[in-house]
Structure 1
């Protein structure tokens, strides 16, 4: 899966992750969380499961974005 694909999917995953975790964040923050979450989740999932296809990449992107939403809520938003 190319990094460009992870970035595109990451923007959608960030939106989905912030809605699933009920976080009110602005659009650039949501996109950044999704993109970095997609990169982390996609790469980790790729190394651990060696799965290919759209579904595996999207699941990894959402999981990575949800991790970053949690980190954002815990350490940054409450400042």
Structure 2
């Protein structure tokens, strides 16, 4: 169940992350970035959820999505 929540939160986090990083991406790419970032951020920052509540999960999802965008840009610019 927690993975399903991360996927849903990730879609919203991807939208926010693409706007923060000023990336023009289609809806599928935005959702993919957010979901992957949410899974990474959610699992890495899981302990914050117990300390600070559900807000920490969203923060972790946004941070994870930002990391994915940064890595994606670095990989794309190498080509």
TM-score normalized by the length of structure 2 = 0.88
| Cross-structure match for 2:49 | 51
SS, match of residue 24 in structure 1 = coil
**Structure 1 CA distance for aligned equivalents of residues 69 and 42 of structure 2:** 16
Q: CA RMSD in A?
A: 1.7
**Structure 2 CA distance for aligned equivalents of residues 37 and 8 of structure 1:** 12
Going from structure 1 to structure 2, the CA distance change for 1:77 and 1:33 (only over 3 Å counts) comes to: farther
| Cross-structure match for 2:4 | 4
Q: How many residues align?
A: 77
Contact 2:48 2:56 in 1 (8 A): no
| Cross-structure match for 1:40 | 40
SS, match of residue 8 in structure 1 = helix
Question: 1:12-54 CA deviation, whole Å, 9 max, x = no partner?
Answer: 00000000010111111110000010000010001xx343332
**5+ unaligned residues in a row in structure 2: which ranges?**
none
| Cross-structure match for 2:29 | 29
